[in-house]
Structure 1
């Protein structure tokens, strides 16, 4: 019994010693494979950033491999009695680990994503794309990796006594440990000080979760959270990538039509409010003009929705545009053509920096000296319009904001009850009360629109003025059953689907259900009003609203964190880590549904196509 016990302990001791050396050489292999992440990532431009890269490179992969050893191989050494069987098990684990790492490096180089359910499902979907084919070729290396692991396993077992006598295990472990700990300490400092050459490397390596200590530092008075947030917001702009917008100089066929342009943006108006009961005037106007009844905003929030409308670009470019203070091509072209420009708002443009720092940068904007309202904004627009002459074309932008504050009511009588401000609402359905209050504000806006169009007709301008009526995003009243209210809470049609009603002189009234987007507005105006001949792909991610090509398979929406692909029968939401969710038309999650790899690749390419190549 004693002999048997000693024999077991000796076998376990040998397997543990062998396992350490097996892990060490796999750490070296992982570190070498890790160079592919470094090559595919942005190179830090400071010495401290480069030091962190070196420390995290060595420390992360050594910890990653050793962690798998502790979790899998170390306990297996006590369970699997046969050294041959144990070594075979270790070889299989090592082969699987290095294969997964190799596949992850390929996914990172190709998609800028690490392995995730999305990447794994797509690349093994069998779809016949070039990327999918190259991915499958990588599996040819599996037998090679397995063979190398077998050779390593046998060589280490034969040389185990000799290697053990070298006593280098502690120094090697110390080096790896110092690299790992120091990289995390450096990141704690960088995170608190927003040192981008280090923080930009956060997701370079797989399963990388650098340590932060903001709560601890705030508790001890070493970090001011408010100041930190302000610096974080500013850094997002300052550190953004350079943008090429447009990709090449624009060309024009002629000076354009010289027509006036009026864009009316109704803050928070969802498309199903344009009906004969809630907005009868706008509904009649839609029937008499060109109505795009399947139109979507570029986002579910104000900033990204307005950005997409005026730039024709996805939200991923917002910080780059704001950093370089680049005006929209639409606005700059109008200025070059001598257009008079007037901007009017019922809420001082909501103090949104997207207006002051990008869209209307350098233009006179509504001042916040007095409380504004939609009526006052329209009155100011009327005064401005009276000063315009037939000799000079004009562009005006009117933002109507009554819907934004529908809960507070306004100087209008409620038409739909029960609603807020209509009397006793105790015991009433909250959803009904809130939605009726919203409809009352929409009805009020509808009445304001009458004044705008009456003014244009009275001045004889309708025949020479292009009018676009739309919204920045929609508003939800928990129709999806996900406790979602208002906007910026999900990507359902209630928050994304908005009106797009266009009065284009001499056009035939029509209603089209073709999938259209805010990203299509700029190409439409640049081509059909300003006579641009450059391909729309050089300055926008959209296409002309009047493009009669076959129906599109998808359009883009989202924000800085999410890519949203809207398709006729589904909506796919992909976060920056590559996790995805597919919803049906009613925004019910479809657990078994998967987006096509080719479609995803096109969408991701569009999110980066305008970034500076160098």
Structure 2
């Protein structure tokens, strides 16, 4: 019995020693496969960023493989008595792990996603595509990998005693441990001080969750959280990759038509408000001009909706644009053409996107954090005064008016309610059986008021005899929901239904005939339209935008993109697909109810994913 006990201990001791060396060589193999992530990802330009890359590459894969050894192979060494059977089990686990890693590198280089439910569904879908065809080569690679693991297993077992005598296990483990610890310490510092060459590498490797310690550092006086928040707002998301915008230098066929441009942004206005009862003036104007009835904002969010309209890029690029403080090609081109700028907002453009990137060249007036109620009438009055002066100059002008009454409908305003009962006409102590009516009527009252302001703007253009030489674009940054989807969603930025994404787009373009356009269109299409038809750019729109000219839209267009830095939203005729940053997804029908057939079409998703990474710098 004593001999038997000693024999068992010897076997376990040998298997544990063998397992350490087996894990070490699999760490090397994982690191070699992991170079695909490095090649595909953006190369850090600073020495510290490159040092972090080296530390995380060694430390992360060392920790990842050794973690699987501790969790699976090490306990099995005590449970499986036969050393041959135990080594076969370890070979199977190692083959499975490296196969999964190869699959993940393929998903990352193809879709910029690590393995997730979405990626698995795409790989296992029956749809014929290059993605599915290429990954099936694994059926050849896996047997080869398995044989190599068997050879490694047998070689290590035979050389185990010789390897053990070298006494290098401790130093090797120390190197991996120091790299792992060092990478996390560097990231803690980089995260606290928004050091982009390090933080941009956060998601390069699979199962990578770098450590942060802002609460600890704040507690010990190492950082100031308020100062951190201010710096983050100014710099944007430090984890975003660098962007090429435009992809190449723009060229123009001539100086363009020199027409004036007026954009009226009615924040929070959903598309179904364009009807004769709620907005009679805008409805009449739409009937006399170009009315795009199937138009979508780039997001359900205020900032991203404005971003998509002026940059012609999906919301996923917003943080990269903010980080690099890149101006829109539309605004930059108008500046170069010596356009006069008239920018008016009822809250003095307090949203950071306006003064950080969008109109940074125009040096917007100083901003205040005082809680001052928006005043749309004052904004329109100031614009009317400015227009009189601008018309006296021979150079064309560009004007942007932001109206906030509709978005701030619950606050009321200096207008007489037309639709009752509403929040402003109902006493606080009155029992209301249907509060939805109050909200919707209050919203319609604000829309009715905004309609009167739009009428003032249009009348002023006519009085100044400017309408015949002015392109007028009336739209919104997003819609507003009143729980029509039955998901307890109100307002905006809570789901991606048509109530929050579908917005009006009415365009007056001199000498163009009135038309109702039912083709699916997007905010992304406005910039290419102005660049090509107003400014006569000869560079193709794909070099500076993800949209298309509204006057040349494919009537069979199958999808448009929405979302933000967290979610990818693909809007199609009868469905909406939402994919989060982790690759989890959901497919909804046109009423925003989960569809029974929940798998998105692979070819469509591949096109979308390509569009969402096309403007990033090519990988080195």
The normalised TM-score by structure 1 is 0.91
| Structure 1 residue matching 2:569: 3-state secondary structure | strand
Aligned counterparts, 1:219-230, within 5 A:
219-230=219-230
Q: 1:375-395, CA deviations, whole angstroms, 9 ceiling, x for partnerless residues? A: 122222222333315955433
Distance across 2 between alignment mates of 1:42 and 1:533: 30
Distance across 2 between alignment mates of 1:569 and 1:441: 31
Q: What does residue 209 of structure 1 align with?
A: 209
* 1:421 aligned onto 2:424: yes
> Which of 490, 499, 504 lines up with 1:499 in the alignment?
504
Q: What does residue 248 of structure 1 align with?
A: 249
* 1:552 aligned onto 2:557: yes
Q: What does residue 410 of structure 2 align with?
A: 407
Aligned counterparts, 1:298-317, within 5 A:
298-317=298-317
1:443 CA displacement:
1.2
| Structure 1 residue matching 2:473: 3-state secondary structure | strand
* 1:361 aligned onto 2:364: no
Q: What does residue 458 of structure 2 align with?
A: 453
1:529 CA displacement:
2.9
Moved more, 194-203 or 408-417: 194-203
| Structure 2 residue matching 1:402: 3-state secondary structure | coil
8 Å CA contact retained: 1:264, 1:400? yes
1:273 CA displacement:
1.7
1:486 CA displacement:
2.3
Q: 1:463-488, CA deviations, whole angstroms, 9 ceiling, x for partnerless residues? A: 33322110011122333333333222
Q: What does residue 58 of structure 1 align with?
A: 58
| Structure 2 residue matching 1:546: 3-state secondary structure | helix
Distance across 1 between alignment mates of 2:367 and 2:38: 49
Moved more, 6-15 or 87-96: 6-15
Give the total of aligned pairs. 612
8 Å CA contact retained: 2:374, 2:404? no
Distance across 2 between alignment mates of 1:338 and 1:23: 66
Distance across 2 between alignment mates of 1:214 and 1:324: 24
Q: What does residue 124 of structure 1 align with?
A: 124
> Which of 475, 478, 484 lines up with 1:479 in the alignment?
484
1:295 CA displacement:
0.4
Aligned counterparts, 1:79-478, within 5 A:
79-236=79-236, 241-245=242-246, 247-252=248-253, 254-322=254-322, 325-349=325-349, 351-363=350-362, 365=364, 373-387=375-389, 388-389=391-392, 392-424=395-427, 425-478=430-483
Distance across 2 between alignment mates of 1:171 and 1:393: 72
Distance across 2 between alignment mates of 1:258 and 1:511: 26
* 1:169 to 1:286, Cα distance in 2 relative to 1, 3 A: same
8 Å CA contact retained: 2:293, 2:518? yes
8 Å CA contact retained: 1:243, 1:320? no
8 Å CA contact retained: 2:250, 2:537? no
1:498 CA displacement:
0.6
| Structure 1 residue matching 2:407: 3-state secondary structure | helix
8 Å CA contact retained: 2:262, 2:399? yes
Q: 1:224-252, CA deviations, whole angstroms, 9 ceiling, x for partnerless residues? A: 11112222333337886253326232222
Q: 1:325-378, CA deviations, whole angstroms, 9 ceiling, x for partnerless residues? A: 5443333444444543322222222x1232223333333756769975221222
| Structure 1 residue matching 2:402: 3-state secondary structure | strand
Distance across 1 between alignment mates of 2:463 and 2:182: 73
| Structure 2 residue matching 1:205: 3-state secondary structure | coil
| Structure 1 residue matching 2:360: 3-state secondary structure | coil
| Structure 1 residue matching 2:562: 3-state secondary structure | strand
Moved more, 600-609 or 443-452: 600-609
Distance across 2 between alignment mates of 1:54 and 1:458: 67
1:8 CA displacement:
4.1
Distance across 2 between alignment mates of 1:92 and 1:518: 51
| Structure 2 residue matching 1:90: 3-state secondary structure | helix
Aligned counterparts, 1:513-592, within 5 A:
513-590=518-595, 592=597
8 Å CA contact retained: 2:241, 2:616? no
Moved more, 428-437 or 90-99: 428-437
Q: 1:437-491, CA deviations, whole angstroms, 9 ceiling, x for partnerless residues? A: 1111111111222222233334444333322110011122333333333222322
Distance across 1 between alignment mates of 2:163 and 2:339: 81
* 1:540 to 1:188, Cα distance in 2 relative to 1, 3 A: closer
* 1:486 to 1:143, Cα distance in 2 relative to 1, 3 A: same
Q: 1:78-129, CA deviations, whole angstroms, 9 ceiling, x for partnerless residues? A: 3333333222221111100111112222222333322222223223324333
Moved more, 416-425 or 399-408: 416-425
Q: 1:403-448, CA deviations, whole angstroms, 9 ceiling, x for partnerless residues? A: 1321111111222233212123434433332222111111111122
8 Å CA contact retained: 1:60, 1:208? yes
Distance across 2 between alignment mates of 1:464 and 1:189: 55
Moved more, 369-378 or 255-264: 369-378
1:592 CA displacement:
4.9
8 Å CA contact retained: 1:299, 1:557? yes
Q: What does residue 513 of structure 2 align with?
A: 508
1:6 CA displacement:
4.8
Distance across 1 between alignment mates of 2:461 and 2:177: 74
Distance across 2 between alignment mates of 1:610 and 1:64: 32
1:207 CA displacement:
0.8
1:166 CA displacement:
4.2
- Give the root-mean-square deviation of aligned CA atoms: 2.8
Distance across 2 between alignment mates of 1:161 and 1:480: 68
Distance across 2 between alignment mates of 1:41 and 1:459: 54
> Which of 580, 586, 595 lines up with 2:600 in the alignment?
595
1:565 CA displacement:
1.8
* 1:49 to 1:386, Cα distance in 2 relative to 1, 3 A: closer
Distance across 2 between alignment mates of 1:602 and 1:307: 22
Distance across 1 between alignment mates of 2:363 and 2:190: 40
8 Å CA contact retained: 2:260, 2:471? yes
8 Å CA contact retained: 1:476, 1:485? yes
Q: 1:249-300, CA deviations, whole angstroms, 9 ceiling, x for partnerless residues? A: 2222x54444332221101111122223322222232223221111011122
